Amino acid sequence: MGKINYGRLIAGALLAAVFYFIADGFIHGALLGHYHMEAISRAGYPLTADNTSFIYFGLFDLGKGLVVMLIYVAARSRFGAGAKTAVWAGLVAWLAIAVLPSIEWMPFPFYGKSFWVKVMVLEILPMLVGSILGAWVYREPKAEEN
């Protein structure tokens, strides 16, 4: 077990975050956007654009990238480096970031339960791919020779 390469950890998290940002834009814009618009309208709010929304989405996806990479870096010392460990890290992150919050929001009437199931299903593949991308960047520093 080596020391953590923080530069590579951050680089992997950034790569995963960029991928998550693009994937979430497609999922919540193109695929689920009409559900969001309906929920906003039903709540009685006007459908107006928020120019700062991309900042919040970017911060969220940066957090997702960091979480998945921290899980991967912690898991690789026990399970080894590679895609298999990255997939497991992605699954754990998906559970924490997509599944559990979706279940938490299911009782509230803003969206139907089927919407949250769609979110969970649509988020799994991007979470795994982002995890693999981040793991591809990560390498532990070489051991110092004495």
Q: Mind listing the pLDDT tens digit for each residue in 81-133?
A: 999 999 999 999 999 999 999 999 999 988 999 999 999 999 999 999 999 99
For 48-70, what is each residue's pLDDT tens digit?
888 999 999 999 999 999 999 99
The per-residue pLDDT for 143 is 65
Phi-psi region of 104 (alpha: psi -120 to 50; beta: other; left: phi over 0): alpha
Q: What is the pTM of this model?
A: 0.91
Q: Whole-angstrom Cα distance, residue 14 to residue 18?
A: 6
